[in-house]
Amino acid sequence: MELSPTARVLLGMIRKGRRTGYEIKQLVDVSTRFFWAASYGQIYPELRRLEEAGLIEGEDDPTGGRQRRAYTLTPAGDAALDEWLRSDEEPAYELRDEALLKLFFSGELTKEERLHIVRQMRARHQAVVDGLRSIEEVAAAAGGATYTTLRFGLDMHSWAVDWCRKQEEELE
Amino acid sequence: MELSPTARVLLGMIRKGRRTGYEIKQLVDVSTRFFWAASYGQIYPELRRLEEAGLIEGEDDPTGGRQRRAYTLTPAGDAALDEWLRSDEEPAYELRDEALLKLFFSGELTKEERLHIVRQMRARHQAVVDGLRSIEEVAAAAGGATYTTLRFGLDMHSWAVDWCRKQEEELE
DNA sequence: ATACTCATGTAAGCTGTTACATGATTCT
DNA sequence: AGAATCATGTAACAGCTTACATGAGTAT
């Protein structure tokens, strides 16, 4: 059972506990967002597809008159998630960094302009560091693999901030 | 003049010298690929659009009976490239790392299985390091901004390799 | 001969975002 | 009363990859 990119994060989040599409979106935004984003436009249609495929089971669960549908994994969904987690295929890795592209083409710019690009780049990484730090305590309490990945993000973007600073010093 | 993502790399590559679509693809694959990829399916249609928009100028330049079309920047294209390079907008940054997502959801796996994921992740980063090292000498000779960005890639993925190794030690 | 590289291009399909629409509940 | 949050969903569009098609020149 080949899972779509969004299906991977949905199954993973649902295994952590019974979830609605809305809750999954909130969770993604405070945890995997920096290396695996998802939007409502992907989440809701994909939840329907996964239910049709028998990997998850939805149950209407309104709060008052407000509609709500919560999902749990079926045994097939549980197996599909494990199969993906244990698969040997080379995991996808994709990066798109506009600041780096600007830097690549900055050969004909002045020193000040190049410096400006590096500062933009540093600010970008710093913003991610700040965002991750603000949720670090919660993640640290949860501990385990969740916290490990957050640490990776924090350490990597901090490393990038340092790299930019060094670059700025060289240019000054 | 708002440039499409692919247009940015095309204009930048063409400013470095008169180029064909094929040459641009080769160049991208040995330079920006690790932070900004492009495929033929994007390159050729976009070259046509940029010519229609008056940012580049194409000239037929066959080698024997083999068709070939080489492009140069128009003054408008040159200005558009500079405008983008100097713009103040927050540069886009996007990362999609499947290994990290697996790690995030690895809470219910055994230690061996988690170790396997980290090793996959390390191999992934190591492959990029190897790829970049193989072109390092050429880039170092060219020097300047081109080499700086290659160094960033080399240093960042080397850092990631080290991070994985530490993680592996902790798990062993 | 045949395989590889040079060279251009398109069609189908997948993935994703953005913007919008709808409506209920809760907080100030 | 009005704003924010909870909650679901869709339509339009943007961007990209893959696979294929075509054909010429070059190296083995």
More confident site: B142 or B26: B26
The whole-number pLDDT of residue B54 equals 97
pLDDT, average across residues B71-81: 98
The mean of the pLDDT values for chain A is 96
Question: Would you say B14 and B62 are in contact if contact means Cβ atoms under 8 Å apart?
Answer: no
For A172, other C-beta atoms within 10 Å of its C-beta total 7
Instruction: Judge whether residue A130 has pLDDT over 80.
Output: yes
pLDDT, average across residues B67-94: 97
One-letter-per-residue 3-state SS of chain A: CCCCHHHHHHHHHHHCCCEEHHHHHHHHHHCCCCCCCCCHHHHHHHHHHHHHCCCEEEEECCECCECCEEEEECHHHHHHHHHHHHCCCCCCEEEEEHHHHHHHCHHHCCHHHHHHHHHHHHHHHHHHHHHHHCCHHHHHHHCHHHHHHHHHHHHHHHHHHHHHHHHHHHHC
**Res. A139 pLDDT band, cuts 50 70 90:** confident
Instruction: Judge whether residue A142 has pLDDT over 80.
Output: no
**Res. B143 pLDDT band, cuts 50 70 90:** confident
What is the share, in percent, of chain A residues with pLDDT greater than 70?
100
The mean of the pLDDT values for chain B is 96
Written as six digits, the tokens of A144 are 């385990």
CB contact under 8 A, A96 and B149: no
**Res. B74 pLDDT band, cuts 50 70 90:** very high
**How far off is chain A from B96, nearest CA to CA, in Å?**
5
Q: Which of A12, A41, A52, A51 is nearest to A28 (CA)?
A: A12
**B104 beta carbon < 7 A from strand D?**
no
The whole-number pLDDT of residue B138 equals 81
Instruction: Judge whether residue B25 has pLDDT over 90.
Output: yes
Written as six digits, the tokens of A166 are 């060094």
For A9, other C-beta atoms within 10 Å of its C-beta total 25
Residues facing residue B19 across a β-bridge: B71
pLDDT, average across residues A72-79: 98
Instruction: Judge whether residue B139 has pLDDT over 90.
Output: no
CB contact under 8 A, B107 and A144: yes
Of A29-38, B98-107, B140-149, the poorest mean pLDDT is in B140-149
**How far off is chain A from B171, nearest CA to CA, in Å?**
12
The whole-number pLDDT of residue B6 equals 98
**Res. A51 pLDDT band, cuts 50 70 90:** very high
**Res. A64 pLDDT band, cuts 50 70 90:** confident
Written as six digits, the tokens of B5 are 């993502």
The DSSP letter of residue B92 is P
Q: Kindly provide the residue ranges of all beta strands, DSSP E only, lying in B28-167, ordered along the sequence.
A: 56-60, 69-73, 93-97
Pick the residue of B90, B96, B110 with the most A CBs within 10 A to test the interface with A by mutation: B96
Distance (Å, whole) CA A29 – CA A14 = 15
User: What tens digit of pLDDT does each residue of B85-132 get?
Assistant: 999 999 999 999 999 999 999 999 999 999 999 999 999 999 999 999
Pick the residue of A102, A118, A126, A130 with the most B CBs within 10 A to test the interface with B by mutation: A102
Contacts with B35 from chain A: Cβ below 8 Å: 95-97, 100-101
The whole-number pLDDT of residue A73 equals 98
Of B91, B113, B123, the CB nearest to A86: B113
The whole-number pLDDT of residue B13 equals 98
More confident site: A27 or B142: A27
User: What tens digit of pLDDT does each residue of B30-51 get?
Assistant: 999 999 999 999 999 999 999 9
For B120, other C-beta atoms within 10 Å of its C-beta total 19
**Res. B172 pLDDT band, cuts 50 70 90:** confident
The whole-number pLDDT of residue B11 equals 98
